[in-house]
Each structure stands twice: as structure tokens, then as C-alpha cells.
Amino acid sequence: MKQGLRIAIVFVAVMLGSPLVASAAEQWHYDLEQELMSPYCPGRTLTDCTSPQATELRRWIAGEEAKGRSREDVEKQLFLEFGEVILQAPKAQGFGLAAYVIPAVGVTLGAALVVIFLRRQQRTGAPAPLAMAPDPDLDRLIDEELRRG
């Protein structure tokens, strides 16, 4: 009897919770608005942009979601309309791949140059100080100055 009651409680909890889970999963427009850069406010996400055009675009995205369009379809349409301006980071393909490869290559080459420089410095060591030959005239002048002072 207790096992049947537990199953019934779990069943009711799942049935009551499933619309909440489904509605949260279906509301992808909030996430999308935070991930896209605004084409109207440079350097701001669509959520942070206060322009009327951005507000209209957010409404359009929410409306498309309400119509049942998938997030991927809406993203594709926005990308076709606005281009890479709406991306927070360039795509890692084609020319956008350079944004990821060039810094990595630069850091690697810089590290290699530092290692080569340090190894050469270690091999050669510090240069020996220059030895001066004794100068009797200079010694005499120094002694005279010391006697005066």
C-alpha cells in the first residue's frame, strides 16, 4: 500500500511539474537575447540595448518563439539579416578562425623567442669586466690630490 502511495505522489508531482519544466524549456528567447550582440548598440547585448529598435527586435524574437519557430531558425534568420555583427565571438571557421589562430601562434612564437634568448644568454654568460693596465701617472695624480685634501 505504501509503495502505491509513493508512486501516486511521484506521478502527481511529475504531472504538476511538467508544464513548468516545459514552459521554462520553451522560453529560449531570453537566452538568445543575452547571447546576441545588438546591431543597434555597438558593444552591448540585445538585452542591454535600450534603443527602440532593439526593443522591437526582442519582441519579434519572443513572437517567433510563441509561433513555435525553433531557436535555430530564428538565429539563422537574424544572422542572414544582420551578419556577424550579432555574434559575441567570430565563428571558428573560415576567416573567423584567424581570430583564434593568430593569437595562439603569436604567443607560441613569443615564448619560443624568449626561450632561445635565455638559452643563448646562459651559454655565453656575463661578459668579463675590462681589465685596466696600471698607469703610474694616474697613481701619482691621485696621491697628490689625496695629500692636498
**Which residues sit opposite 134 in a β-bridge?**
none
pLDDT at 91 over 90: no
- For the segment 3-27, the average pLDDT, to the nearest whole number, is 54
Which of 80, 82, 104, 81 is CA-nearest to residue 92?
104
Give the CATH class of 2-88.
mainly alpha
**HSE-CB of 88 using CA atoms within 13 angstroms:** 9
pLDDT at 144: 93
Cell 516545459 identifies what position?
22
Greater model confidence, 28 or 21: 28
The full set of domain ranges for the chain reads 2-88, 92-124
pTM above the 0.75 mark? no
